[in-house]
């Protein structure tokens, strides 16, 4: 019983989930917290996997291929949660079917793939957004407002890192070049996106990495700006880093504790003043903020989110490409 068009109007937004892996499950669990959202279908490369996921989460319909989910008339928006190397194809299928998409980070394997999808979405006027949940987090938005209001003056430096240390065999997607493995695309995308939220696209990108098995496992980036601002960023698959961020300006600095990409709070140090702590009620380690933003945009008839603009996504992908050129990392088929 499809309504006219794809817009949800006043009823709950009907989500389709594309992939049945780890983050797809967490997204479905988080959506259950949103009163104006429901999951109506799941799609997978195999019907058995889709049916298993549907049973586990009480989802009414299971599709054994991506195209059937993309064309499901009862789905308002598809959440794409495949490995990075498998983002482009299902997003394209959805856009060609006229179905809005929220696609996991990193948006694609490289900027060329991202440009193709953004071009298609704009040509077809279909909603498309990268699932950069950090940009939708209320605490990050509060920080961005304060910075825009001049709370720390001119932003001169951003420091951020995201490293994990976990046992992973060679078949794990983060270790598999065929799946776009490595620290930079999976984890480094957060420090890069955070820096670019504050400083925009850099004029120069420098990077250094230790490569292993065809992926980067310990990586540093220096983003340079014609203004003289800099961002120093690291990511790792072999070191449990602090996962903090600091934004330093001419009049003070803002410090984020561990987990800067889904923060509960930050501390503002204005020059010559006592530190001020900021927090916002509600969950921080949750996908409800990005899902709410998608629902809001669909109801408003918007084809891009102002919180996660596609031009920003493209700029992040160009920086990741530039860093990969510096460290000599190419994926199969590139």
Ligand X SMILES: NC(=O)c1ccc[n+]([C@@H]2O[C@H](COP(=O)([O-])OP(=O)(O)OC[C@H]3O[C@@H](n4cnc5c(N)ncnc54)[C@H](OP(=O)(O)O)[C@@H]3O)[C@@H](O)[C@H]2O)c1
Q: Which residues are part of the catalytic machinery?
A: 105
Q: Indicate the residue whose CB is closest to ligand X.
A: 21
84 binds ligand X (CB under 6 A): yes
Cβ atoms 81, 287 nearer than 8 A:
no
109 binds ligand X (CB under 6 A): no
Q: Is 133 in the site for ligand X (CB under 6 A)?
A: yes
Scanning 77-85, 94-102, 111-119, 157-165 for contacts with ligand X by CB under 6 A, the matching segment is 77-85
* 294 is a site residue for ligand X (CB under 6 A): no
Inter-CA distances, 251 with 106, 156, 214, 276, Å: 33, 10, 43, 14
Strands 61-63 and 77-80: unpaired
Name the one range near ligand X by CB under 6 A: 54-62, 75-83, 92-100, 272-280: 75-83
Of positions 92, 105, 243, 324, contacts ligand X by CB under 6 A: 105
Nearest approach, Cβ of 238 to ligand X (angstroms)?
18
Tell me the closest approach of the beta carbon of residue 229 to ligand X, in angstroms.
Answer: 27
**How many residues lie near ligand X (CB under 6 A)?**
22
Q: What are phi and psi of 85, to 5 degrees?
A: -70, -15
**Residue in 173, 175, 243, 289 binding ligand X, rule: CB under 6 A:** 173
86 is a contact residue toward ligand X (CB under 6 A): yes
Quick check: 20 binds ligand X (CB under 6 A)?
Answer: yes
Nearer to ligand X, 82 or 196 (CB): 82
Distance CA 324, CA 222 (A): 13
CB atoms within 10 A of CB 199: 20
User: Which residue in the block uniquely carries the two structure tokens 């789905």?
Assistant: 75
In what order do the strands lie in the sheet containing 215-224? Answer: 204-212, 215-224, 230-236, 155-163, 245-249, 252-256, 265-270, 276-279
Asked if 23 touches ligand X (CB under 6 A), the answer is yes
What is the DSSP track for 90-128? HHHHHHHTT--EEEPSSSSSSHHHHHHHHHHHHHHT--E
- Residue 334 three-state SS: coil
Range list of H helices, the chain:
22-31, 47-57, 66-70, 88-96, 111-124, 133-136, 138-148, 183, 189-199, 288-299, 310-327
CB of 305 to ligand X, least distance (A): 15
Nearer to ligand X, 186 or 255 (CB): 186
Among 13, 39, 44, 233, binds ligand X (CB under 6 A): 44
Q: How far is the CB of 216 from ligand X (least distance, A)?
A: 15
Binding segment (CB under 6 A) for ligand X, from list 13-21, 108-116, 233-241, 317-325: 13-21
CB of 22 to ligand X, least distance (A): 4
* Residue from 179, 223, 229, 237 binding ligand X (CB under 6 A): 179
What residue has token string 């060329």? 112
Nearest to 322 by CA among 245, 233, 198: 233
Between CA 268 and CA 17 the distance in angstroms is 38
The reply to whether 164 sits near ligand X by the rule CB under 6 A is no
CB of 157 to ligand X, least distance (A): 26
Q: Does 21 participate in binding ligand X (rule CB under 6 A)?
A: yes
Q: How far is the CB of 234 from ligand X (least distance, A)?
A: 18
Q: Tell me which residues touch ligand X (CB under 6 A).
A: 19-24, 44-46, 49, 81-84, 86, 104-105, 131, 133, 173, 179, 186
């Amino acid at each position: 019983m499809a309504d006219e068009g794809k817009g949800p109007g006043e009823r709950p937004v009907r989500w389709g989930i594309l992939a049945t892996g780890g983050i797809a499950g967490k997204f479905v669990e988080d959506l259950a917290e949103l009163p104006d959202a429901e999951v109506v279908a799941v799609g997978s490369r195999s019907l058995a996997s889709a049916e298993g996921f549907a049973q586990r989460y009480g989802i009414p319909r299971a599709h054994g291929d991506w195209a059937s989910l993309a064309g499901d008339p009862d789905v308002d928006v598809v959440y794409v949660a495949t490995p990075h190397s498998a983002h482009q194809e299902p997003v394209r299928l959805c856009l060609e079917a006229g179905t809005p998409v929220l696609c996991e980070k990193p948006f694609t394997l490289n900027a060329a793939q991202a440009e193709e999808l953004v071009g298609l979405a704009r040509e077809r006027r279909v909603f498309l957004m990268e699932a950069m949940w950090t940009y939708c987090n209320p605490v990050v938005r509060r920080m961005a407002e304060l910075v825009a209001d001049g709370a720390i003056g001119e932003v001169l430096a951003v420091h951020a890192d995201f490293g994990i240390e976990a046992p992973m065999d060679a078949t794990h997607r983060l270790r598999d070049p065929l799946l776009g493995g490595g620290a930079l695309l999976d984890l480094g995308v957060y420090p890069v996106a955070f820096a670019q939220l504050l400083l925009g696209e850099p004029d120069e990108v420098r990077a250094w990495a230790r490569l292993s098995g065809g992926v980067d496992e310990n990586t540093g980036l220096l983003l340079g700006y014609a203004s003289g601002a800099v961002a120093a960023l690291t990511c790792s698959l072999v070191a449990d880093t602090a996962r903090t961020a600091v934004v330093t300006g001419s009049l003070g600095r803002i410090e984020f504790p561990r987990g800067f990409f889904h923060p509960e709070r930050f501390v503002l140090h204005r020059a010559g003043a006592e530190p001020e702590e900021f927090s916002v009620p509600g969950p921080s380690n949750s996908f409800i903020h990005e899902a709410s933003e998608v629902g809001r945009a669909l109801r408003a008839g918007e084809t891009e989110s102002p919180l996660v603009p596609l031009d920003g996504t493209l700029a992040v992908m160009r920086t990741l490409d530039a860093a990969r050129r510096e460290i000599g990392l190419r994926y199969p088929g590139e």
